[in-house]
Structure formats: C-alpha cells, structure tokens
C-alpha cells in the first residue's frame, strides 16, 4: 500500500489537488462506468458520443437510454472530430429537448 499512497500523493501534487480526490481503477472502462453512473440524468437529457468510440465505452452509457436519455453521435470527418461535429450533436440534442 505505501507505493499506492506515494503514487497518489505524487499525482495530487502534479494536479494541484487533494490525494483523497484520486481514485485508481483497474482499467479505463471501470473508471468510466463509475463516472457515468455518477451523473444525475433524466428522461429528455442527452449524451453526445462519437462514432469513433470503442464499443466498451458506448455500452457504459447505454444504461441511460433505458431511462429515457438520448444518445447522440458526433460524426468524424476523415478520422478527425472537429468541434463542429460536437456542436452539431449538441444542436440536435437541444432541438430534441423541446
């Protein structure tokens, strides 16, 4: 455990935060799952993902669909995701909210 404590302290210094604010997870999917479940979303809310997401990352958000949250997709352009792609997803999301 001392190595974890030392690593957490070093990261906290680097990021300028309290060590208690740092959590280690076994992988990115686990961390994203924890974060995705922390949101207080409701029917009518929207999530904007990209069409370049790994399938494991998309499934993390799918539980919200069953609760009436809409998943929107920002489409890549020749392998790139310019801000406009997200703006379009957000625009569609706002239009759909009514």
Q: Is 89 exposed, middle or buried (0-12, 13-18, 19+ CB in 10 A)?
A: buried
How many CB atoms neighbour CB 64 within 10 A?
Answer: 20
* Residue 64 backbone dihedrals phi, psi, to 5 degrees: -70, -30
Q: Is the pLDDT of residue 94 over 60?
A: no
> What's the pLDDT at 43?
93
Q: Please name the residues in contact with 92: beta carbons below 8 A apart, sequence gap of 6 or more.
A: 72
pLDDT at 85 over 60: yes
Task: Write down the domain spans for the chain.
Answer: 1-38, 41-98
pLDDT in tens, 31-80: 999 999 999 999 989 899 999 998 888 888 888 998 999 999 999 999 99
What does residue 71 show for φ and ψ, rounded to 5 degrees? -100, 120
**97 with 73: CB under 8 angstroms?**
no
Instruction: With cut-offs at 50, 70 and 90, classify the pLDDT of residue 24.
Output: very high
pLDDT at position 91: 75
Residue 96 has pLDDT above 70, yes or no: no
Q: ∠ CA(25), CA(31), CA(32), 5° rounding?
A: 170
């Amino acid at each position: 455990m001392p190595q974890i404590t030392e690593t957490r302290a070093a990261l906290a210094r680097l990021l300028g935060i309290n060590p208690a604010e740092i959590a280690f997870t076994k992988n990115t999917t686990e961390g994203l799952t924890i974060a995705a479940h922390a949101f207080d979303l409701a029917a009518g809310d929207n999530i904007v993902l990209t069409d370049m997401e790994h399938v494991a990352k998309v499934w993390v958000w799918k539980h919200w669909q069953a609760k009436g949250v809409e998943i929107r997709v920002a489409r890549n352009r020749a392998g790139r995701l310019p801000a406009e792609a997200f703006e379009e997803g957000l625009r569609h999301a706002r239009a759909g909210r009514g």
